[in-house]
Structure 1
Amino acid sequence: MLKRFFILCSGVDTDIVNGCSNGEQNKYAGIGATVFFTAIMAFIASSYALFTVFDNVYTAVFFGLVWGFLIFNLDRFIVSTIKKRDNFLDEFIQATPRIALAIIIAIVISKPLEIKIFQKEIETVLLKEKNEMALANKKQVTNYFQSDVDKNKAEIDSLKSDIAKKEKEVNELYATYITEAEGTAGTKKLGKGPVYAEKRLKHDAQLKQLDSLKAVNAVKITEKENKAKTLQADLDKKVTDSQPIIDGFDGLMARINALNKLPWLPSFFIMLLFLAIETSPIIAKLLSPKGEYDFKQEDAEMGIKNVLAQNRYQSELQRKTDAEIYDKVYADIKEDRELYNYKKKGAMELLKLQSDGFVEKQKKSI
């Protein structure tokens, strides 16, 4: 049962191969087994690749089955269409497009399995890339809000600077009227005279302005500080909202790119393995000598070609014979006098009717 199934997978004519020797049947059963297991590999590889895309097992398995059947039919077609010839160069030229197609299929099949085999190494590369993307994203978002943050900070610093300047001015006025009272500066008269009173009055006026400025600027500073907290919260929210996108950066294309950043030699050998598996049925057919199946297939094709050639020859001969017969028949008819007189009589009657009709039209028009 298994042998018959693998022979069916090889794409050979079962009516012919069943009449061949056991060794010949085993050869094509081996080719069919290679085709079948290549399709199984294609199913596994495509299912895993599609799972990384859809994140759904049932969808991945369904499309994986479709891809597996497609590869199975392609391989079966490739193997079944290669026919043994008497010249190896002719066979190789015939197989060249099929080998190219087999190479493409091998690469497509091997790539998802490479991703699965080197999954841990790929995860490491992806983690590094995600961290770099997170830092770059945070820097980009920070730069986006930086102008507003800097402007707000500058306004707070300006308000605080105004208070500091006013405090310095008040302190200087305070020192002025104190030194005047002590007699160490100004008029250098000890005591609280008119100059002292004037300077004290000026200090008190500036002190009131300072208190008023502190009250007004304190409200403004509080507003600016609240705005700074809001800007920081918006920045953090922007970074947080974009983080899931970075965390989801592990699709099929990202994994393929990460695989390309790993050492190429292990991946190359895996691809060579699948290439060998995929092309082995074709290579086996090219290298193997003509077998019993090939001779019987050639004999059956030759029989069909002979029948077609005979039918084509008979049809052409019948066409030529019929043409010669009809040429002779119409030549004899051409010489028949009775037929000539009959046709002449009909033609004369037709001419008379046409002439009478023309005369009637002329009479009506006058």
Structure 2
Amino acid sequence: MLKQFFIICSGSDTDILKSSSIGEQNKYAGIGATVFFTAVMAFIASSYALYTVFDNLYTSIGFGLIWGVLIFNLDRFIVSTIKKRNSFLDECIQATPRLILAVIIAVVISKPLELKIFEKEINQVLLEEKNAMTLQNQDEIALQFTPKEAQLKQNIATLQTEIETKEAEVNALYNTYISEAEGTAGTKLLGKGPVYQEKRDKHDTAFAELQELKATNKEKIAIIEASLLNLKTDYDTQVATTQPIIDGFDGLMARVNALGKLPWLPSFFIFLLFLAIETSPIFAKLLSSKGEYDFKLEDQETAIKTVVEQRVTERQLALKTDFKINDRVYTDLSEEDELYQSKREKARALMQLQADAFYKQQQKAL
């Protein structure tokens, strides 16, 4: 039962194989088994690849099954259309398009399985890329907020500088009136005289202005700091909004690109493995000698070809004969007087009608 199933998978003529030797049946059963298991591997590979895209098990299995059947049909077609010839060169020319198609199929099948085999290494590459993308994303978003943030911080620094300048002025006035009271500067008279009082009044006025400036600038600084806080909130919000896009950067194309950054030799050997599996039925047919099945198939095809060619030749001969008979018939008819007179009278009547019609047309024109 299983052997018969694999023979069907090989695309060979089951009626011919039934009357062939056991060795021939086993050879084509082996070819069919290769075709079948290649389709199974294609189903598994495509299901995994589509799962990375759709992230849905049932959808992936459904599309994977369709892809597996398609690969099975292509492989079966490729193997069944390769026929043994009397010239090895003719067989190679016949198999060249099939080999090219087999290489393409091997690439399509092997790539998703490579993604699964090297999944851990690919995840590591993707993690590094995601981290780099996260930092780059934060830097790019920061460029949108940095100028405004710098301007706000500069405004705070300006307000604080005003306070510090005023404090320095007040401190200088304080030292002036204290020195006047101690007699170490100014009039150098010990005690609190009129000059001391004048300098003290200037200090008190400046001190009051300082307190007012502190209160005013404190309110301004609080407003600016609130703006800075809002700016920071907007930055964090934008980073948090864009981060899921980066976290989701693990689709099929991203994984294929990550696979390309890994050492090429392991992937190449996996590709060679599937290439060998995919092309093995073709090479098996090319390298094997012409067997019993091939002779019987050739006999059947040539028999039909001979019958068709014979029928075509017979039709061509019948057509040529019919042409010759027609030529003789019309030659004999052309020599009969009765036919000549009949045709002469009809031609004369036709020419008379033409002349009358031309005459009437000329009358109308005049």
Task: Name 1:107's counterpart in structure 2.
Answer: 107
- Give the length in aligned residue pairs: 366
Cα distance in 2 between the residues matched to 1:339 and 1:54: 85
Q: Which amino acid aligns with 1:46?
A: S
- What per-residue deviation string (whole Å, max 9, x for no partner) do you get for residues 237-261 of structure 1? 1111111111111111111111122
Residue 90 of structure 2: aligned partner = 90
Question: Counterparts of 2:364 and 2:252 in 1: how far apart (Å)?
Answer: 92
One-letter amino acid matched to 2:282: I
CA–CA separation in structure 1 for the residues paired with 2:360 and 2:253 = 92
The whole-number CA distance in structure 2 between the counterparts of 1:185 and 1:339 is 159
Deviates more, 1:233-242 or 1:23-32: 233-242
Could you give the per-residue CA deviations for residues 289-315 of structure 1, whole angstroms, max 9, x where no partner exists?
001111011111111111121112111
Residues 296-341 of structure 1, C-alpha deviations (whole Å, 9 max, x = no match): 1111111111112111211111111001000000000000011111
How far does the alpha carbon of each residue in 1:26-51 deviate from its partner, in whole angstroms, 9 at most, with x for none? 11111011001100100100000010
| Corresponding position of 1:159 | 159
2:314 is aligned with 1:314: yes
Structure 1 residues 106, 354: CA separation in 2 closer, same or farther (over 3 Å shift)?
Answer: closer
Deviations 1:54-92 (CA, angstroms, capped at 9, x unpaired): 111111111111111111111111101111111112211
Task: Give the C-alpha shift of residue 357 in structure 1.
Answer: 5.5
Moved more, 17-26 or 78-87: 17-26
> Does the C-alpha gap of structure 1 residues 139 and 363 become closer, same or farther in structure 2, counting only changes over 3 Å?
closer
Q: What are the equivalent positions in structure 2 for 1:120-139 lying under 5 Å apart?
A: 120-139=120-139
Match of 2:33 in 1: 33
Q: Distance in 2 between matches of 1:231 and 1:360?
A: 102
**Is structure 2 residue 199 aligned with structure 1 residue 199?**
yes
Structure 1: state its 5+ residue gaps. Answer: none
Unaligned runs of 5+ in 2: none
CA, structure 1 residues 32+204, in 2 after alignment: closer, same or farther (shift >3 Å)? same
Report the alpha carbon displacement of residue 220 of structure 1 after superposing the two structures with TM.
0.3
1: CA distance, partners of 2:160 / 2:328: 126
Aligned counterpart, 1:117: 117
Shift of residue 231, structure 1, vs aligned partner: 1.2
Q: TM-score, normalised by structure 2?
A: 0.96
What is the rounded CA distance, in whole Å, between the counterparts of 2:197 and 2:130 in structure 1? 72
Q: Quote the Cα distance in structure 2 between the aligned partners of 1:127 and 1:106.
A: 29
Cα pair distance change 1:358/1:103, threshold 3 Å: closer
Q: CA deviation at 1:140?
A: 2.0
Question: SS of the residue aligned with 1:20?
Answer: coil
Cα distance in structure 2, aligned partners of 1:359 and 1:258: 93
What is the CA–CA distance in structure 2 between the aligned matches of 1:338 and 1:216, rounded to whole Å? Answer: 135
Determine if the alignment matches structure 1 residue 347 to structure 2 residue 341. Answer: no
Counterpart CA distance in 2 for 1:153 and 1:365 is 104
- 1:346 is displaced (CA, Å) by 2.5
Aligned to 1:175: 175
1:132 alignment partner AA? A
CA distance in 1, matches of 2:194, 2:200: 10
The DSSP-based 3-state class of the residue aligned with 2:82 is coil
Matches of 1:175 and 1:49 in 2, distance apart? 82
The separation in 2 between residues aligned to 1:18 and 1:331, in whole angstroms, is: 61
1:247-279 C-alpha deviation (Å, 9 max, x unpaired)? 111111111111122222222211111111101
Cα RMSD, aligned residues only: 1.7
Aligned with 1:191: secondary structure? coil
Structure 1 residues 40-51: aligned runs within 5 Å: 40-51=40-51
> In the superposition, relative to structure 1, how do residues 51 and 364 fare at CA in structure 2: closer, same or farther (>3 Å)?
closer
Distance between the aligned counterparts of 2:359 and 2:49, measured in 1? 92
Q: How does 1:1-366 map to 2 (within 5 A)?
A: 1-355=1-355
Q: Which moved more, 1:38-47 or 1:248-257?
A: 248-257
In the aligned structure 1, how far is the partner of 2:356 from the partner of 2:3?
A: 91
Give 1:285's aligned amino acid. K
* CA pair 232-365 structure 1, distance change in 2 beyond 3 A: closer
> Which shows bigger deviation, 54-63 or 327-336?
54-63
Identify the range of structure 1 (120-129 vs 276-285) with the bigger mean alpha-carbon deviation.
120-129
